[in-house]
């Protein structure tokens, strides 16, 4: 992403709403949730913490929207396949659809079995713990968003639940094997995402970008790449996005996805061939063929995220609701529609008000992105989740996305020799075409000075004018290619260090904060 695009995003973000107006709208949403929960649950005994939990859940959902959704649309915005406004609209629509359509009726409220709720016999203590978990996770996400660090919302809520659980019942309540898996995911998720994204980009570079006839290569491989994306994303949505509507096993999902991919191939191939007729033989022009697939990728990733991650916001809230209504502690509970609505609408509100900051981070502040690189990151996000889920490996969508961005950046560094060669060749072509243009202009000037021009003179003048126009276009394109090749193309280390630091401290920070909040609640209620 060039500096002009970054500045444009900054201006668009700043102009959307002043900071005070954003805060006011966020508070308005929380007030609405408060009033509605109070009005609808006023007759329940011990309803105070249900209302408080609803407010905390709304706050948590907004922070998920502000921080986590950037992973789905950031690369598309960074590559300029989507405008910032378009990305927010698409994400808002498909996040809410994913939450309402496929968010599920039942969730494991104690996320990933991180604690054993049976060790908290008192429902009141359990309610306090879940309230503390919600608030601590939301506060941590809020802080991470303010510094522009994309962190795992799952890890935030897990840290909150773990810290509150320890405060309520001691260290024995924690499943430390699960904690070990979470720590492992800090390495597994970005590594898998980075490797897969780099592999896709390497294929694209070697089979299209580095070819002499880029347009012809694009005709051959772009339909295959789009079909592959359709296959992977279809399987991803079937397995992860609509699992609560219909249960489909892995093999069936892969077969259905393959069928969809084949159909898409035969649909898009003639469209790509037709579109290629208007393309110039350079990578900038070929990049545009990936615009539409990236828009669909952003929509599908948002749908799957809404379906899966809404539980991070409402799981503890659903647990609080169940404990108050049924006066017991359960690991699995039904999610009332109103709880689902708090999560879904909260994510959308947070995205629209505060999402652009993290979209900018993912889309531009780690490395420069174009459509090919963004495609590779989107493929890494869906492919990694599918592979990891079948292998039983713990992964984070946030870590995968950031790892994918870093992966394409590091690959570009690895291929620096090729980039330098490309720059040298581009400069050589530029000088050649410029020299030819100068010679043609000199010849044309001489012919125009002839007073009594012959027929051949006129024919040559016409030829020269046409050739000069062609050479001017070539020189103009060469100048663009040289400028593009000279741009900085490397991973920004400072941004990566900041993000990794935030990842490492997410679970312990949320845990400590949750424990502190739990003891504060306990002290207040005991007094």
> Are the C-beta atoms of 345 and 29 separated by less than 8 Å?
yes
Average pLDDT over residues 20-27: 84
Residue of 401, 342, 380 whose CA lies nearest to 153? 401
Please say if the pLDDT value at position 199 is more than 90.
Answer: yes
Range in 51-65, 178-192, 205-219, 248-262 with the lowest mean pLDDT: 178-192
pLDDT in the model for residue 245 = 67
pLDDT in the model for residue 356 = 79
Task: Output the six-digit token pair for 464.
Answer: 């020269």
Strands (E), 17-160: 106-108
- Angstrom distance (rounded) from CA 157 to CA 140: 9
Residue of 519, 511, 523 whose CA lies nearest to 183? 511
- Angstrom distance (rounded) from CA 181 to CA 260: 34
pLDDT in the model for residue 242 = 66
Q: Tell me the β-bridge partners of 333.
A: 107
Q: Between 195 and 181, whose confidence is greater?
A: 195
SS3 annotation, 190-215: HHHHHHHHHHHHHHHHHHHHCCCCHH
**What confidence tier does 3 reach under pLDDT thresholds 50, 70, 90?**
very low
* Number of residues assigned to the chain: 527
Q: pLDDT tens digit string along 311-337?
A: 666 778 887 887 787 766 655 566 778
SS3 annotation, 115-155: ECHHHCCCHHHHHHHHHHHHHHHHHHHHHHHHCCCCCCHHH
Other Cβ atoms within 10 Å of 96 Cβ, number: 22
For 26, 36, 49, 55, the CA distances from 40, given in Å and listed in that order, are 21, 6, 14, 14
Q: Between 527 and 91, whose confidence is greater?
A: 91
Average pLDDT over residues 332-352: 80
Please say if the pLDDT value at position 11 is more than 80.
Answer: no
- Angstrom distance (rounded) from CA 401 to CA 186: 12
**What confidence tier does 110 reach under pLDDT thresholds 50, 70, 90?**
low
- 106 three-state secondary structure: strand
Distance of CA 118 to the CA centre of its chain: 36
Please say if the pLDDT value at position 488 is more than 50.
Answer: no
Range in 153-162, 207-216, 327-336, 482-491 with the lowest mean pLDDT: 482-491
Distance of CA 234 to the CA centre of its chain: 17
Q: Is the dihedral of CA 91, 94, 100, 105 positive or negative?
A: negative
* DSSP characters over 453-512: --HHHHHHHHHHHHHHHHHHHHHHHHHHHHHHHTS--S--HHHHHHHHHHHHHHHHHHHH
Please say if the pLDDT value at position 260 is more than 90.
Answer: yes
Q: Tell me the pTM.
A: 0.74
Give percent helix, percent strand, percent coil of the chain, each to the nearest 5: 80, 0, 15
**What confidence tier does 225 reach under pLDDT thresholds 50, 70, 90?**
very high
- 396 three-state secondary structure: coil
Task: Output the six-digit token pair for 2.
Answer: 């060039």
Q: Which of 1-5, 45-49, 199-203, 497-501 has the highest mean pLDDT?
A: 199-203
- Angstrom distance (rounded) from CA 378 to CA 287: 15
């Amino acid at each position: 992403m060039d500096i002009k695009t970054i500045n444009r995003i900054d201006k668009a973000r700043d102009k959307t709403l002043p900071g005070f107006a954003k805060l006011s709208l966020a508070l308005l949403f929380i007030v609405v949730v408060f009033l509605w929960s109070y009005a609808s649950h006023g007759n329940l005994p011990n309803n105070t913490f249900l209302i408080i939990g609803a407010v905390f859940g709304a706050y948590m959902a907004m922070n998920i929207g502000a921080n986590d959704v950037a992973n789905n649309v950031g690369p598309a915005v960074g590559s300029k396949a989507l405008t910032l406004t378009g990305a927010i609209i698409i994400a808002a629509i498909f996040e809410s659809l994913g939450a309402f359509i496929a968010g599920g009726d039942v969730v494991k409220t104690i996320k990933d079995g991180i604690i054993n709720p049976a060790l908290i016999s008192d429902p009141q203590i359990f309610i306090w713990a879940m309230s503390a978990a919600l608030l601590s996770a939301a506060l941590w996400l809020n802080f991470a968003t303010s510094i522009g660090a994309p962190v795992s919302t799952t890890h935030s809520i897990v840290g909150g639940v773990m810290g509150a659980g320890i405060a309520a019942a001691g260290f024995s309540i924690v499943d430390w094997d699960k904690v070990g898996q979470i720590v492992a995911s800090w390495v597994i998720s970005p590594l898998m995402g980075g490797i897969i994204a780099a592999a896709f980009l390497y294929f694209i570079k070697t089979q299209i970008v580095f070819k002499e006839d880029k347009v012809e290569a694009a005709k051959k491989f772009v339909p295959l790449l789009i079909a592959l994306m359709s296959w992977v994303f279809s399987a991803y949505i079937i397995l992860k996005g609509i699992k609560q509507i219909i249960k489909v096993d892995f093999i069936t999902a892969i077969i259905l996805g393959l069928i969809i991919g084949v159909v898409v191939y035969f649909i898009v191939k003639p469209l790509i061939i037709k579109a290629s007729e208007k393309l110039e033989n350079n990578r900038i022009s070929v990049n545009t063929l990936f615009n539409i697939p990236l828009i669909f990728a952003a929509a599908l990733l948002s749908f799957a995220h809404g379906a899966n991650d809404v539980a991070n916001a409402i799981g503890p809230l659903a647990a609080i609701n169940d404990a108050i209504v049924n006066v017991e502690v359960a690991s699995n509970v039904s999610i009332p529609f109103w709880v689902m609505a708090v999560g879904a609408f909260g994510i959308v509100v947070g995205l629209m008000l505060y999402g652009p900051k993290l979209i900018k981070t993912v889309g531009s502040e780690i490395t420069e992105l174009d459509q090919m690189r963004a495609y590779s990151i989107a493929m890494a996000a869906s492919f990694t989740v599918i592979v990891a889920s079948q292998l039983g490996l713990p992964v984070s969508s946030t870590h995968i996305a950031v790892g994918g961005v870093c992966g394409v950046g590091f690959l570009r560094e690895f291929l620096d020799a090729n980039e330098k060669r490309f720059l040298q060749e581009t400069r050589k072509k530029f000088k050649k075409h410029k020299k030819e243009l100068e010679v043609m202009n000199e010849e044309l000037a001489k012919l125009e000075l002839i007073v009594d021009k012959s027929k051949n003179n006129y024919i040559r003048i016409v030829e020269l004018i046409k050739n000069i126009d062609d050479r001017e276009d070539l020189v103009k394109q060469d100048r663009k290619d040289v400028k593009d090749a000279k741009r900085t193309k490397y991973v920004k280390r400072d941004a990566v260090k900041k993000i990794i630091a935030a990842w490492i401290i997410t679970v312990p920070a949320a845990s400590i904060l949750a424990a502190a909040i739990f003891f504060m609640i306990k002290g207040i209620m005991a007094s």
